[in-house]
Structure 1
Amino acid sequence: MLEVAFITDSPRVAGSEIWLLERLPRLPFLGLHPTLFLPKRPNLDGFAEVLEGKGVKIQRYASLREVLEATASYSLRVFQGWKETTYYLLFPRLAHPKVAVVHEQLDYRYPAGLRQTYHLLYRLGKGSALKGADRVLTVSQWAARFLRGMGLEAEAVPNGVDPDRFRPPDPEERASLRKAYGLHRFTVLVPGRFAPEKNQLAALFTAQRVPEVDFLFAGDDDSPLGALSRGLKGILGLGNVRFLGRREDMPELYRAADAVLLPTLGENQSLATLEAMASGLPVVTTPIPAQEELIQNGVTGLLVPPRPHLLAQ
């Protein structure tokens, strides 16, 4: 069996970690034996325990030097990084063969000057480090084209979700879930960790415009943006908004909701969008390349510029 080292510098559990959680346990069926190299962070302990429970070997590390030494003998190294310092200090020094998996948004719907500045910084920073990869994988077709435009050998391996977990409910199950969650009106689910690119503030101001609709925000909200959003709820008097925090029952929340709102400014390929679609929910989101690749406007959802007065319509 081929020994494969998966390496992440993750500071928290987010979409790329869910990608690992869904895929690593399946690799032995393909003749691959994965080991995940994971930082020694208390907030990742639960994530590590879940993977170990699924039969994945976990090796925790405190320094990048440990990773270099421990992964040298593996048949293949698969890297997915968050921090620019990891791209600079670790990835170029990893033994070959090595593959980079890019989950980053790559393109943001920011004002033109900021958008172009971000492109330039990515090309000079992480993009430059990726030139040492034997292969670059990413999770959407548009992102693969973007990376190839930087001269990288990039291929798309699109995301997927488990249809046994994310599925439409039958009427009885839906009624039971809505009762359990206390949902009595049209309910919009807003999934995602609180981060500037997820644009939860637009969703809050949208909620202000449609008081007859309830909004459930589900995702890590311990960031400054999360605190700001909670404060705005009180200032704006939004009785139709609930903050649920990080949830382990997302499949059930999708089956209980009526629609999903994702006013995102940047995605590579959105797991939340795929989860909502697999659950049979219409998705209202922004016309950025990642979402245009998934959503057929007016058929499987709506592509709307992320302005509250337009989203509220």
Structure 2
Amino acid sequence: MHRVAVVVVLPVLSFDVSIPLMVFNSVADYEVRVCTARPGSLATVGGPAIVVPDGLDTVAGADTVIAVGSGGEQAPPAVLDALREAASGGARIASLCTGAFVLAQAGLLDGRRATTHWGLAGDLATGFPAVDVQPDLLFVEDGGIYTSAGAAAAIDLCLHLVRLDYGAAVANAAARLAVVPPLRPGGQAQFIETPLPPERGTSLAATRAWALAHLDRPLTLADLAAHAGTSVRTLTRRFHAETGTSPLQWLLLRRIDRARELLETTGLSMDHVAGRSGLGSADSLRKHMIARVGLTPTAYRAGFTRVPTA
């Protein structure tokens, strides 16, 4: 079992506490416990009180420690000590939203890139000049320490951690249970432009769904534009406004994600995996897997396979 300790620091939103519980508890291989400096009933910001049963001794036995809450206020010294000890002991450390302030107060973000909710990114940068604050990103990893922006970005980070631990298929299953997109890269901007109502039609959601169903084809910008019934220029503008990335970059990420699932859940040859995901050849598959995931397809399959290979 991979043990996750969620450290709650007041003030906190009940929603932020629920995110790691929702994501990690959907995977059987995690054991999740919520703890705080003073266990018991805790008041939340604008919501119902929550009961946190465990104290900070829970942190000592955790493989992943996630700081939640604080709103930018000072965390109790006992929390900071527990986080420092966990980091020095080799635990994976993460924060959701304003939990980044807690990690910064513990000195764990000094010299590292980090992010938090865009509304408080300036305060984080001002209060902790040793931290390289990235105000525009959904989540950031630096030296094994992970920080996320607020709300949905916290879900993205938790799903990313599941993906690192158990692969794309398990993370995508957790995303389906949460009814959220299976993959939003950490480098995606917090701000996604909301376009004006288009001249024709609504959004490009139908075109993206069509592309996902035809990833094995060599799709071009002209193909996507033809399906959407618009020009390539208008397609590119609207696509970026809706997703924060270009159509071709989005397609590449989806192809890599499809390849990862096929590597995990089938015994297909590398050429067949490349063909079904639209990456062309085994050499192309290898190049993109190393660039995006840091592993060769063979190494990835060995580490994340969920069924015996043929």
What range is the shorter-chain TM-score in? 0.3 to 0.5
Could you say which structure has the higher helix fraction?
2
Could you say which structure has the higher strand fraction?
1
Give the structure, 1 or 2, with the largest relative contact order (CA under 8 Å, sep 6 or more).
1
